Amino acid sequence: MRLSADVVVIGAGVAGLRSALALASRRHVLLLTKTALATGGASARAQGGIAAAVGPGDSPRLHSADTLAAGDGLCDPAAVDVLVREGPDQVRALAALGTRFDQLPDGSFALGCEGAHSRSRILHANGDATGAEMVRALAAALATERAAGRVEVVEWASAADLVVVDGRCAGVAARLGDGTPLICEAAAVILATGGAGQVYARTTNPPESTGDGVALAWRAGARLRDLEFVQFHPTALHVDADPLPLLSEAIRGEGAVLVDGSGTRFMPDEHPQAELAPRDVVARAVWRRLQAGGRVFLDATRSPGEAFAGRFPGVFALCQRHGLDPRRDPLPVTPAAHYLMGGVAVDLVGRSSLPGLYACGEVACSGVHGANRLASNSLLESVVFADRVARDILATERQPIRLPEDAGATAIWHAPDAGTLAARTVGEVRNLMWRQVGVERSGPGLRAARRRLAALAAALPPGPSEAANSVLVARLIAAAALARRESRGSHWRVDHATVPRRRAG
């Protein structure tokens, strides 16, 4: 099957939906997504909320200062400036589009506070279902464009490779769920494929987050950046599930504390901000206790206590599904791979180094997160930069290149079936990455991981597949982690441990 469009968007999370919507009135858009529209991806799972300086006593300057402090010296200040200045308007635009953010009785936004934010600036929806509400509203708006024929959506379509003609990204080779090959030619391609948490055994990311966009961009020759910076969320519910249920930081924002197996609170000894310290600090404190054979719990029994079910209905239901009542039971926690700060290197309008290829959302590295993402900045980055990508494309007139008949013919694609070499490979990659390229890393561990990953890559059949993407992305993360001989932000090298430079507040 062959399709032609002005723009192909790969991915239907917040970033993909937002960019498609911003383009739809003036460009013919083709949107590919691995699952059904409005399901899948990290966006629909985002709990805590979206950060923006919209509250009294807050300002883009303060939001910028918090973002830069969390990023530990590696943020791109120009990108942060764009994020915090355009954020409030983007949030209002989302509300105008139909996103029902929680409000106070006077009609103003109800704002929460999360780790390392100096002000309450986290908008949320339905308590802790912010991402799902944003996806619902964006998908509903897109349905109107779809009905008018301005956007074509192909569900259950996996992008397998980018097609490059004369040094320009000119299309995408994909496979439909039944194996039918699909070639899409386009004047511009937007990668909005989300993160790569599934290369780790413990992750909060959904099955789709296999890092496909990073692998596609790498194979096409686009520049990548900051891949060593993987954020590990300190409080995933430690149960037998994949992905692990997330216990949002907002719960700690509302007074829940971390305790060890003896019920003793330990974070005040680790950092002046205690449970609301930057995520990497909290994740390492939890990891070390687990590595020492102990257990760690999030104790929400006193605060938010009885208010838990009302304030965090989604998390409450998740806990109940695993036989836990957060009002009575301390909740067992583990760190889990949560967010990829690095990705496809892009400029301030989302252009990658490969002409014709854009990236936005978690797959992109715009420089706003540096070495560590400030909580709730990723939904904001997704919408702010998706809109910028769309505006840049709208400012350029370009026709799709007619692709040769055999374009993408070598792009086979298959998701691993249980029990196959591919599935076993993915399982081994995930365990290896968790043990040796995870919360704490060392030179010898990283070198050993790289050797094993190279052997796993060599044993796979040639051609793009989900398994090949997993191994490739794992190898790229491990190589970047070995190259950075310092500890900074989320990247902690036990053999290059330093005192973190960032301020406490």
- Work out how close the CB of 128 gets to ligand FAD at its nearest, in angstroms, rounded to a whole number: 8
- Work out how close the CB of 2 gets to ligand FAD at its nearest, in angstroms, rounded to a whole number: 17
14 versus 296: smaller Cβ distance to ligand FAD:
14
- Work out how close the CB of 447 gets to ligand FAD at its nearest, in angstroms, rounded to a whole number: 30
3-class DSSP state of 373: coil
The encoded tokens of residue 501 equal: 């430079």
> CA-to-CA distance for 196 and 361, rounded, in angstroms?
12
68 versus 182: smaller Cβ distance to ligand FAD:
182
| List of residues contacting ligand FAD (CB under 6 A) | 10-16, 32-35, 40-43, 45-50, 130-131, 157-159, 192-195, 204-205, 208-209, 212, 246, 339, 361-363, 376-379, 382
Closest CA to 220 of 169, 175, 173, 171: 169
Closest CA to 315 of 258, 239, 201: 239
Q: Kindly report the backbone phi and psi dihedral angles of residue 32, in degrees, each rounded to the nearest multiple of 5, phi listed first.
A: -105, 140
- Work out how close the CB of 448 gets to ligand FAD at its nearest, in angstroms, rounded to a whole number: 29
13 versus 88: smaller Cβ distance to ligand FAD:
13
85 versus 496: smaller Cβ distance to ligand FAD:
85
Closest CA to 199 of 435, 494, 483: 435
377 versus 487: smaller Cβ distance to ligand FAD:
377
- Work out how close the CB of 411 gets to ligand FAD at its nearest, in angstroms, rounded to a whole number: 11
4 versus 487: smaller Cβ distance to ligand FAD:
4
Type of residue numbered 47: Q
Helix (H) / strand (E) element for 19: namely: helix 14-24
Query: What single DSSP character describes residue 76?
Result: -
> CA-to-CA distance for 194 and 208, rounded, in angstroms?
8
Cis peptide before 500 (omega within 30 of 0): no
Catalytic residue (choose from 27, 279, 430, 475): 279
Q: Yes or no: say if 70 and 373 are a contact pair by the CB < 8 Å rule.
A: yes
The encoded tokens of residue 415 equal: 């998701």
416 versus 445: smaller Cβ distance to ligand FAD:
416
Closest CA to 17 of 3, 48, 38, 35: 38
Q: Yes or no: say if 446 and 480 are a contact pair by the CB < 8 Å rule.
A: no
- Work out how close the CB of 384 gets to ligand FAD at its nearest, in angstroms, rounded to a whole number: 11
Instruction: Kindly give the pairing relationship between strand 151-154 and strand 224-225.
Output: unpaired
Cβ burial, residue 486 (10 Å; 0-12/13-18/19+): exposed
The residue ranges of DSSP E strands in 192-251, in sequence order, are 224-225, 230-237
Q: Yes or no: say if 162 and 398 are a contact pair by the CB < 8 Å rule.
A: no
Q: In the annotation, is 279 catalytic?
A: yes
- Work out how close the CB of 449 gets to ligand FAD at its nearest, in angstroms, rounded to a whole number: 24
Q: Yes or no: say if 206 and 339 are a contact pair by the CB < 8 Å rule.
A: no
Half-sphere exposure in the Cβ direction for 364 (13 Å, CA): 34
The encoded tokens of residue 143 equal: 């349905």
Closest CA to 258 of 301, 210, 228: 301
50 versus 477: smaller Cβ distance to ligand FAD:
50
- Work out how close the CB of 407 gets to ligand FAD at its nearest, in angstroms, rounded to a whole number: 17
Instruction: Show which residues are catalytic.
Output: 279
